[in-house]
């Protein structure tokens, strides 16, 4: 089993370009698995982890409800935002500046074959990161992602998650609000959940801005420990 994970920080990238790149990496891993099966070979399958920050964009999962987008085409343009229907699970979410987005493209057969466990460990990596800032985060039963004050009238989501997996290869991932403009969430019913708010790390800490370059290594440390992985930083391959 190959537990090496190639880490690329793509910086600020267009959503569609990054999605296409994810698909490319996914296909490369898929091809190795097919070749191994066909030729009775044992070529290691690669694992990747992408960090990225997107311009304003709304994405709707394959099981999502389009009515949860509260803007028409003209209003999207006025907001400087784009919209995509995509091939992950979950409903609608927002990505934008001030948000750390993580896309693990893993062959889970290198780690464990359990999608439920995979999602719980992604959540745990963010929960442990928030704990380093003195923030108690948790899960909300039946609602994927990371939340604060669950079970109270003040429940709010700080990290959304939505993944796709095929042949145990993952795509998409998490969106962690660090310095996010929360006003953009007013234009959707986030994740299709009508009665709960969203928040951002800087809001919870009562500061204007948190250094995202300080947050990323914390996420990677916890991800590495939880997945028993070996992270290898490489130069971004997306031109």
Catalytically annotated residues: 191
40 marked among binding-site residues: no
92 marked among binding-site residues: yes
131 marked among binding-site residues: no
90 marked among binding-site residues: yes
With beta carbons less than 8 A apart as the criterion, state whether 5 and 225 touch.
no
Count how many residues are written for the chain: 239
Beta-bridge partner residues of 94: 58
142 marked among binding-site residues: no
Cβ within 8 Å of residue 38, ≥6 positions away: none
152 marked among binding-site residues: no
Question: Residue 101 and residue 91: Cα distance in Å, rounded?
Answer: 17
84 marked among binding-site residues: no
139 marked among binding-site residues: no
Question: Residue 19 and residue 131: Cα distance in Å, rounded?
Answer: 30
183 marked among binding-site residues: no
94 marked among binding-site residues: yes
- Using alpha carbons, list the distances in angstroms from residue 24 to 153, 220, 237: 43, 23, 11
Strands 143-148 and 138-140: antiparallel
Question: Residue 3 and residue 6: Cα distance in Å, rounded?
Answer: 10
Backbone angles phi, psi at 105, to 5 degrees: -110, 90
Provide the annotated binding site. 88-95, 160-162, 173-175
Provide the annotated binding site for substrate. 88-95, 160-162, 173-175
């Amino acid at each position: 089993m190959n537990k090496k994970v190639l880490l690329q920080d793509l910086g600020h990238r267009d959503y569609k370009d990054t999605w296409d790149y994810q698909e490319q990496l996914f296909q490369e891993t898929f091809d190795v698995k097919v070749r191994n099966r066909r030729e009775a070979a044992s070529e290691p399958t690669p694992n990747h982890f992408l960090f990225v920050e997107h311009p304003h964009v709304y994405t709707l999962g394959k099981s999502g409800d389009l009515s949860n987008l509260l803007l028409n085409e003209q209003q999207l343009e006025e907001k400087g935002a784009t919209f995509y229907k995509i091939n992950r699970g979950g409903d609608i979410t927002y990505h934008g500046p001030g948000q750390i987005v993580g896309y693990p493209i893993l062959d889970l057969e290198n780690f464990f074959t359990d999608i439920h466990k995979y999602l719980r460990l992604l959540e745990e990596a963010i929960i442990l990161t928030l704990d380093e800032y003195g923030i108690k985060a948790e899960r909300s039963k039946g609602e994927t992602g990371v939340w604060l004050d669950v079970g109270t009238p003040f429940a709010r989501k700080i990290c959304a998650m939505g993944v796709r997996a095929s042949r145990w290869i993952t795509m998409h991932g998490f969106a962690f609000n660090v310095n996010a403009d929360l006003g953009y969430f007013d234009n959707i019913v986030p994740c299709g959940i009508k009665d709960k708010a969203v928040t951002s790390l800087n809001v919870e800490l009562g500061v204007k801005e948190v250094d995202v370059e300080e947050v990323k290594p914390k996420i990677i440390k916890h991800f590495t420990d939880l997945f028993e992985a070996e992270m290898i930083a490489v130069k971004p391959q997306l031109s």
